[in-house]
Amino acid sequence: MDYVLKWDGQSSVLRVELTYSAHQKDSTVFIFGDPNWGGQADIFKVIRNITSSEPEVVRVDEVNRQISVYHNGANKHTISYEIDGSLPPDLPTRASQTELFRPVISEGVLTLVNKQFALTVTDKSNPLVSFRWHSYPKNFSYFNSIDPSQKSPSEKLSVYYEDLSNAVCFVMGNNISVMEYSVLGVPYFSVTTKEDRYGNDLQGSLIPFFKSYFPSIHRFWNDTDFPFYFLSVTALQNNQTEIGAGGFGINNGFIMKLGRKFGTWEIYVTAHETAHTWIGIKIMFGTDSFDHQWFGEGFNDYTALINLANSKLYDEEEFLNYLNEDNFKQHYQSEIKGVHNDSIAAKYWTDYATYGKLPYRRGLIYAFYLDNQIRVVSNGKFTLRNMLLDLYAIRKEKNNNEILSVDDFITVGAAYLDKRELTDQIARYMIEGQPIDFKTVELIPEFKVEIKNNIPKVSLSENANLLEIYKW
Is 171 inside a domain boundary? Answer: no
**Residue-wise over 92-116: b if at least 16 C-beta within 10 A, else e?**
ebbbbbbbbbbbbbbeebbbbbbbb
- The pTM of the full predicted model, rounded to 2 decimals, is 0.88
Q: Are 121 and 28 in contact (CB under 8 A)?
A: yes
The CATH number of the domain holding residue 45 is: 2.60.40.3650
Is 386 inside a domain boundary? Answer: yes
pLDDT of residue 452: 95
Is 294 inside a domain boundary? Answer: yes
| Three-point CA angle 352, 357, 362, nearest 5° | 150
pLDDT of residue 91: 64
* Best CA proximity match to 445, nearest among 382, 372, 378, 386: 372
According to DSSP, the residues that pair with 3 across neighbouring strands are: 18, 131
Is 130 inside a domain boundary? Answer: yes
- Domain match, 13 and 157 both: yes
d(CA 193, CA 122): 37
Is 265 inside a domain boundary? Answer: no
Q: What letter does residue 236 receive in the DSSP assignment?
A: P
Count of C-beta atoms within a 10 Å radius of residue 148:
22
| Three-point CA angle 198, 169, 117, nearest 5° | 100
Count CA within 13 A, CB hemisphere, residue 301. 24
Is 131 inside a domain boundary? Answer: yes
End of a domain among 130, 164, 198? 164
pLDDT tens series, the chain, 472 aa: 999 999 999 999 999 999 998 876 899 999 998 777 766 667 787 899 999 999 999 999 988 889 999 999 998 999 999 999 887 666 666 666 667 777 889 889 999 988 889 998 887 666 889 999 999 999 999 999 999 999 999 999 998 887 776 679 999 999 999 999 999 999 999 999 999 989 999 999 999 999 999 999 999 999 999 899 999 998 886 666 777 787 788 878 999 988 889 999 999 999 999 999 999 888 999 876 567 999 999 999 999 999 999 999 999 999 999 999 999 999 999 999 999 988 888 787 777 778 888 999 999 999 999 999 999 999 999 999 999 999 999 999 999 889 999 999 999 999 999 999 999 999 999 999 999 999 999 999 999 999 999 999 999 999 999 999 999 9
pLDDT of residue 455: 97
- Domain match, 9 and 155 both: yes
- Domain match, 160 and 299 both: no
User: What confidence tens digit (pLDDT) does each residue in 363-382 have?
Assistant: 999 999 999 999 999 999 99
Q: Are 228 and 148 in contact (CB under 8 A)?
A: yes
Q: Are 230 and 247 in contact (CB under 8 A)?
A: no
Domain span at residue 294 reads 289-469
pLDDT of residue 162: 78
Which residues lie closer than 8 Å to 204 by C-beta, 6 or more apart?
none
Alpha carbon distance, N-terminus to C-terminus of the chain = 45
Is 235 inside a domain boundary? Answer: no
Beta strands in 277-380 (DSSP E): none
Q: How large is the greatest C-alpha to C-alpha distance in the chain, in angstroms? A: 79
| Number of domains forming the structure of the chain | 2
- Domain match, 303 and 443 both: yes
- Domain match, 159 and 298 both: no
Is 263 inside a domain boundary? Answer: no
The CATH number of the domain holding residue 306 is: 1.10.390
